[in-house]
Amino acid sequence: MLVPAALAADLPSATGVAEKGSLKVVSRALLAPKSGELMGVWLNERRPCAEQRRLRVSFLVDLVRGATTTRRTGARSGLVANCAESGPNFGFIKSAAVLGMACPSGRWKPGRYDFVVRTRDPISGLRATATLSYQETRHC
């Protein structure tokens, strides 16, 4: 989802990086007004850009409203190319509506959100975790 530059500067995001030698594994959580990018990638400047590695990206999203917590999770594995030009690019783009956490307008419901994105490279054992907490205070 493309977001205007002025708005994108105010959106919360979090990045986690794990490194072993020249290999980096990265997780990122990036929120938009009505969705979230929950992605991972691997980078290694010593390997060709066409090289692929299998990654596993998983996410957890909690919405806490009063005494009620709504939790959503997901995971996927797949081949991911090196040299991601725009940053993490394998994982999930989830709308607030798909997660069951949306106002009728489609934006995030009021409450406290906790996003956790984990990216694992099973060959090296590297794991990167990005955690993001966000408070939505506007009423639907």
- Angle, vertex CA 33, rays to CA 30 and CA 36, nearest 5: 35
Instruction: Count CB-CB contacts under 10 A for residue 78.
Output: 12
pLDDT over threshold 60, residue 6 = no
pLDDT over threshold 90, residue 87 = no
- Domain assignments of the chain as residue spans, ordered by start: 5-136
- CATH number listed for the domain at residues 5-136: 2.60.40
pLDDT over threshold 50, residue 5 = no
**Phi, psi (deg, nearest 5) at residue 107:** -80, 170
Cα distances from 95 to residues 23, 89, 108, in angstroms, run: 31, 16, 9
pLDDT tens for residues 51-71? 999 999 999 999 999 999 999
Closest CA to 107 of 36, 38, 33: 33
Which has the higher per-residue pLDDT, 125 or 6? 125
